[in-house]
Amino acid sequence: MIGVIADDFSGAAEIGGLGLVYGLSVEICTVISTPLNADLLIVATDTRSMGENQAGKETKKIAEQLFPLHFDWIYKKTDSVMRGHILVELIALLKAYHKEKALLVPSNPALGRIIADGKYYINKKPLHETGFSEDPEFSISTSDVLSLLGKSKKIETCILKKGQRIPERCIAIGEAKENIDLKYWASFVRDEIIPTGAAAFFEELLLKKGFKRIKPKKISFPDFGPLSLYVLGSAYSNTRHTVREAKENGCYVSEMPDELFYAKKNRSSLVDRWVCEILAAFKTQSRVVIAINQPPVNDAGFAQQLRKEIAVVVKKIHREKCINEFFLEGGSTSFGIIQALKFNRFVPTQKLSPGVIRMEVINSPDVHITIKPGSYVWPEKIWNCHR
């Protein structure tokens, strides 16, 4: 059995989709329970949205819970553009497993995300010049990967080119400009090294371990449930494009009212008013999109407040309408929603496109959730495949 600790829910789903591609039975959970029957168990956390100390403690707690389950190997899924508390979490993981080396490979060359000469680039553009500079919680102001990782008095950090070895007691970043570089770093991993990084590196580790892709099938989109709710809650700028796309495809879009977004008080009553508007839309619509679609605000506290309010909105809608299909965007937003709905175990059923994974909710088999990271794109058919 393989264990993965993911720092957000969309990253957990992305790894789950890879598990399907390689013919593994997969379970994603937010609470570890036994017995476990999956080949691949992915623990989805929300550590990216926690404070630094809390993120470290949560990672250590999860690692200690996984330890007695005797996994063949453990992978730490991090954000591919290095947002979050990666250094603190890796230090906690090393301590929990009594190891002294971690190899971090966050690149995903297939998506144009590479590390070269110590710098991170997306489609040849320096990372800090992309839409990730607008992230309200982890505003990226540099493309230097060692600066993104940070420093610690507890352990050395370094960046490696091919051919260089990891020093003793070190968290090392492996440069990767092409997929062949990912293969090299996968071959580099030994039992004494904790592998960590993006989904692309995890896939190379699967190949190294002898797993093979199952024969690809032509993607046939399922008949989605009769009531569908799309939640566009990511802070990434692509969301604004997605709102336009949804409208062009005939979806009813309910955007967070300006009055609520800018309110300083009485926000709960304004949330309830928004819920009433959305419920009214469901009287004539089978699919409704809700979105913040407001200018990005560089305020972590406000971003967290918006996520909580979105989760409240979704919970109240589901209580009244029993939604069958949820389409969620953004790891932190999605995590808040599943917590509010008290969903904690999932089985991925289909990879609809890169990073876009449909899952069944265990113990609620009539409910499915399709999720993607905020910076990925929805497949076009996602808007019009309904009963």
Q: pLDDT digit string (tens) for 151-169? A: 999 999 999 999 999 999 9
Question: Which backbone phi and psi does 125 adopt, to 5 degrees?
Answer: -100, 135
pLDDT of the residue at 294:
79
pLDDT of the residue at 237:
53
Instruction: Flag whether pLDDT at 114 surpasses 80.
Output: yes
> Quick one: average pLDDT of 13-39?
90
Query: How far from the centroid of its chain's Cα atoms is residue 14's Cα?
Result: 7
Percent of the chain with pLDDT over 90: 72
Query: Where in the chain are the domains?
Result: 2-208, 228-383
Instruction: Flag whether pLDDT at 262 surpasses 70.
Output: yes
Report pLDDT digits (tens) over 47-106. 998 999 999 999 999 999 998 888 999 999 999 999 999 999 999 999 999 999 999 999
pTM: 0.91
**N-to-C CA span, the chain:** 37
Which DSSP string corresponds to 83-97? -S-HHHHHHHHHHHT
Instruction: Flag whether pLDDT at 387 surpasses 50.
Output: no
Which DSSP string corresponds to 288-326? EEEE--------HHHHHHHHHHHHHHHHHHHHHH--SEE
Total residues belonging to the chain: 387
**CB 368 within 8 Å of CB 338:** no
Torsion of CA 368, 374, 376, 381, to 10 degrees: 40
237 token code pair: 């700028």
From the list 213, 217, 235, the residue with the least C-alpha distance to 300 is 235
> Quick one: average pLDDT of 268-278?
96
Report pLDDT digits (tens) over 118-137. 999 999 999 999 988 877 77
Instruction: Flag whether pLDDT at 289 surpasses 90.
Output: yes
pLDDT of the residue at 129:
94
Our CA angle for 30, 33, 36, nearest 5°, is: 110
Q: How many contiguous H segments (helices) and E segments (strands) does the chain have?
A: 11, 18
Does domain 228-383 match CATH 3.40.980.20? yes
pLDDT of the residue at 138:
82
Same CATH fold, 228-383 and 2-208? no
Report pLDDT digits (tens) over 218-245. 666 777 878 999 998 765 556 677 888 8
> Quick one: average pLDDT of 343-367?
91
What's the CA gap between 211 and 326, in Å, rounded? Answer: 31
The mean-pLDDT minimum among 87-96, 196-205, 377-386 falls in 377-386
pLDDT of the residue at 257:
92
> Quick one: average pLDDT of 345-370?
92
Instruction: Flag whether pLDDT at 170 surpasses 70.
Output: yes
Does domain 2-208 match CATH 3.40.50.10840? yes
Instruction: Flag whether pLDDT at 285 surpasses 50.
Output: yes
What's the CA gap between 140 and 132, in Å, rounded? Answer: 6
> Quick one: average pLDDT of 279-299?
87
